[in-house]
Chains A and B, each alone.
Chain A
Amino acid sequence: DTEVTQTPKHLVMGMTNKKSLKCEQHMGHRAMYWYKQKAKKPPELMFVYSYEKLSINESVPSRFSPECPNSSLLNLHLHALQPEDSALYLCASSQDPGRVVGEAFFGQGTRLTVV
């Protein structure tokens, strides 16, 4: 299994809603990432979890709250988002954080629209 699975694929939410994005991998990877990608822009790093601990937060607003319940799962909790938060949210994983790790595997992404 070399997949990173993200659910849902599409999500439309209002500015007062609370929702969660989910990411799962069963490759035994110990680093997991959340990226945000706007149209025609590169993926931008949001958070990094290393060995289930948050190691990097790229100054992301608190309306985005990551959670890593175990080594296979990564969630992104969303609350009081703004329309400009609409984007493709990508989850990725890689074998070992902080070392020469080779490639990171990406999920298909969740297309989020905030209305």
Chain B
Amino acid sequence: DQQVKQNSPSLSVQEGRISILNCDYTNSMFDYFLWYKKYPAEGPTFLISISSIKDKNEDGRFTVFLNKSAKHLSLHIVPSQPGDSAVYFCAAHEDDKIIFGKGTRLHILP
């Protein structure tokens, strides 16, 4: 059973607009959530994280929102740029484990 779910396999967004990537989780013991970006043939690159005791974390164009009651988090990218086209993985941390969702492929359209 998937503990971290990204229900949208792909998303297309116009350059300059906001990209919103969603993630749901089932395990209330997760203490930290992370977003990774992955280009083909490369390892995942860390983007931004949020502790389970926070509801928002912002870093430049990237903001992550956490709704613990809904077990939902989202990554907002504003404004979206062509280089943002990649696969985005939501991940959750518990003890020594980092568990990944299936990823959402983001296409930024010119």
Contacts and interface: CB of A to CB of B under 8 A. Distances in A.
A42 B100 contact: yes
Interface residues of A, number: 29
Contacts of A105: 46
Contacts of A4: 43
Interface in B1-19: none
Q: Which 9 A-B pairs have the closest CB atoms?
A: A106-B43, A103-B46, A42-B100, A48-B96, A97-B96, A106-B44, A42-B102, A109-B43, A108-B43
Interface of B: 31-32, 34, 36, 41-46, 49, 51, 89, 93, 95-103
A33 interface: yes
B100 A98 contact: no
Interface string A80-110: 0000000000101010011011111111110
Contacts of B97: 45, 48, 56
A43 interface: yes
Contact of B93 (A90, A101, A108): A101
A62 interface: no
A112 to B, nearest CB: 13
A71 interface: no
Given A101-B32, A103-B49, A42 B98 contact: no
A56 B43 contact: no
21 contacts: A6-B43, A41-B102, A42-B101, A42-B102, A42-B103, A43-B44, A44-B100, A45-B98, A48-B96, A56-B97, A97-B96, A98-B96, A100-B31, A103-B49, A104-B34, A104-B98, A106-B45, A107-B43, A108-B42, A109-B42, A109-B43
